Amino acid sequence: MGVNNFNQFAARIEKEEICCCYPTEPRQHNYSFFYPEDNLEIEPSNCNELSSLASRDLCQHHIFAKALQITTDAVMITTSHLHGREPEIVYINAAFTKLTGYSSAEIVGQTPQILQGPNTDHRVLKRLKQALARGQVFEGEAINYRQDGSEFQNHCYVEPIFNNQGQIIYYLSIHREIIPQNPIPTQFSTKNNLDPLTGLANRSLFLQRLQQSIDRSGQHPDYLFAVLLLDLDRFKLINDSLGHQAGDQLLTTIGQRLESCIRPTDMVARLGGDQFVILLDQVRDLLKVSQVAERIQQYLNKPLNLKNQEVFISASLGVVLSSPSYDHPEDMIRDADTALHQAKAGGKACYMVFDQTMHRHALERLQLENDLRRAIDDHQLQVYYQPIIATDTGRITGFEALLRWQHPERGMIPPNYFIPIAEETGLIQVIGQWVLREACQRAKLWQLTFPQSPSLFMSVNLSIHQLTYPNLVEIIADILTETGCDPRYLKLEITESAIAQKAETVIPILEQLTALGIQLCIDDFGTGYSSLSRLYYFPITTLKVDRSFVAAITQSNGTAKIASAIINLAHSLGLEVIAEGVETEQQLAILRSWGCQLAQGYHWAKPENSQDTEALLASSPCWQ
């Protein structure tokens, strides 16, 4: 709890119109607060110290003494002896008597050894003495004994008390009993409630235990606990590459490591797959929870040996703290899962603590997902087209098809808001096929409508989720046949990271698409991590220079050199180059001097709907 928390008791007493107290001059974040009016039994050597204190405002001293008495935490004050003899108890409050059964008359003058017994961990006592000898605060847990001989798990906070000369004159200790969770009834302690692989608790047993903690929190506002939801990063890769037996061994080892990170009063469970959950019981504050989360990540980062191969694994964690707002364990798991997703989105191998902002964003995201499903049926999605210009003639040679969502209430929603949702939910397959069909229809229609532009091509973006979809090649072939679009005038744009991540899977698919006559373009080239040595083997016809490079080509820096190098690289491989995001005449002039054949951007036109795009084509624009 700590000394500073006594402020809340002082505030309570102030409301009762009792005089206010104040601690004496602080020394290294410690406070002296013993007053003769509190009937402390003290040694004569300390009388001068207390007499000087008594000269202060007596009213202020009375209130702090009153605060010690009314606090529900057990408080004990001892002398500062550590060498030669044990410190003696000089004061206890009513809560201490309630916790231990000892009255003030029975225990004052005794040493704290009176609370020890056969199961007291003397290693904890050794650490306690070492900390106090250095003038430091100690916090820990140990088994202590009541007057009737019964033992209890004790959380103890001990802090030295300094006088004005910086000398330790007393030790203040604050004690809280760690109440064990209610035992799980025998009928629940069966194999049906244990995970068969790891031997850990399963979801059912964990939810029962979590419900107990929630109920206890409602009855005891001071009781705090936390839930940590953990998901292994890249587990599927290990499972697929080394086999399910190695994957099972990994999960078992992870379970053992997690158990080594927690106390006996805590619980770890496996929810399924590579997902584990931990209940941290009786936590003091967020700092302690954070320390556990960091310790878990450190333990999991240690290498494992699976099938004679060293394997490294990491985990993402979502953390949620107990709150009076929780009535059901599923709600806490839900919020921990929300925080877990935030951790994964933040780069994995980290933890995030849930807050209500996350919950609000999760609800908004869920609403957006529901709206997106309706948008498909209600025809709210539209395809916009941005012209692609030949830099030497200034004429339109093709278009890029860009998806837009005209929400009936929110207006135009940017693609970066809803495309990730479409990819996560699988809606991208339906949406992607619709966009491709619309774009192919427009390409064919405009070629017939505007005979002066018989070779207009259409570029359509293809995500990694679409690229690995079963029967993708057959689906695209059917759309080309259905719309009558010549495959030679269809460019499919794929990000370089999509190819690099799953090159072995993706390249055969790309080769099948090129066999149909379709052109392939690497989008946003230079922003991903593909190997230049492998670029030659990708069946592509076009490189697209990312707008971030184009924006910097008028500056004398490394970024401009990268853009020039990309264009030279494409030329050396016999590839066509498209520069995106061109906004100024100066940028266009530089791109022309570098031999960039095609470009697009607001310098010529922004993306427009099909009607406005047709009007643009009808005007036969020529930008010079």
What kind and span of H or E run contains 332?
A: helix 329-345
Residue 7 has pLDDT above 60, yes or no: no
Rounded distance, CA 409 to CA 93, Å? 62
Structural domain contains residue 623: no
Same domain, 446 and 498: yes
Residue 184 has pLDDT above 60, yes or no: no
The chain-wide mean pLDDT, for the chain, equals 83
**Domain end (from 354, 385, 403):** 354
Structural domain contains residue 624: no
Structural domain contains residue 121: yes
pLDDT computed for residue 345 by the predictor: 81
HSE-up of 394 (CA within 13 Å, CB side)?
A: 10
Residue 434 has pLDDT above 90, yes or no: yes
pLDDT computed for residue 31 by the predictor: 32
Residue 222 neighbours by CB under 8 Å, 6+ apart: 72
CATH of the domain at 603: 3.20.20.450
Strands 396-407 and 411-413 turn out to be antiparallel
Rounded distance, CA 526 to CA 560, Å? 12
Confidence of residue 48 (pLDDT cuts 50, 70, 90): very low
Same domain, 15 and 102: yes
Same domain, 214 and 304: yes
Residue 33 lies in domain: 3-177
At residue 493, what is the residue type? E
Structural domain contains residue 622: no
pLDDT computed for residue 20 by the predictor: 31
Residue 554 has pLDDT above 50, yes or no: yes
Confidence of residue 68 (pLDDT cuts 50, 70, 90): confident
At residue 618, what is the residue type? A
Q: pTM for this one? A: 0.55
CB 576 within 8 A of CB 597: yes
Same domain, 242 and 164: no
Select from 172, 116, 179, 173 the least CA-distant residue to 140. Answer: 173
Same domain, 370 and 268: no
Same domain, 350 and 371: no
Structural domain contains residue 283: yes
CATH of the domain at 269: 3.30.70.270
Write the pLDDT tens digit of every residue in 260-283. 888 878 899 999 999 999 999 888
Six token digits for residue 127: 């650490």
Structural domain contains residue 359: no
Rounded distance, CA 577 to CA 584, Å? 18
Same domain, 315 and 373: no
The pLDDT of 183-206, averaged and rounded, is 74
CATH of the domain at 147: 3.30.450.20
Same domain, 201 and 173: no
Confidence of residue 32 (pLDDT cuts 50, 70, 90): very low
Integer angstrom CA distances of residue 481 from 71, 467, 485, 492, 563: 81, 20, 7, 16, 38
Select from 527, 384, 395 the least CA-distant residue to 458. Answer: 384
485-500 burial code (b ≥16 CB/10 A, e <16): bebebbbbbbbbbbbb
Same domain, 199 and 173: no
Integer angstrom CA distances of residue 50 from 58, 61, 63, 171: 12, 11, 16, 15
Same domain, 324 and 261: yes
Rounded distance, CA 258 to CA 520, Å? 47
Strands 351-353 and 519-525 turn out to be unpaired
Structural domain contains residue 604: yes
Cross-strand bridge partners of residue 275: 231, 272
**Domain end (from 177, 202, 230):** 177
pLDDT computed for residue 323 by the predictor: 87
Considering 85-94, 216-225, 492-501, the range whose residues carry the highest mean pLDDT is 85-94
Give the total number of structural domains in the chain: 3
**Domain end (from 142, 177, 212):** 177
Same domain, 315 and 389: no
Rounded distance, CA 415 to CA 428, Å? 12
Rounded to 5°, angle at Cα 392 from 386 and 393 = 70
Same domain, 160 and 297: no
The pLDDT of 163-190, averaged and rounded, is 73
Write the pLDDT tens digit of every residue in 468-522. 888 999 999 999 999 999 999 999 999 877 777 677 788 899 999 999 999 999 9
Residue 23 has pLDDT above 60, yes or no: no
Structural domain contains residue 88: yes
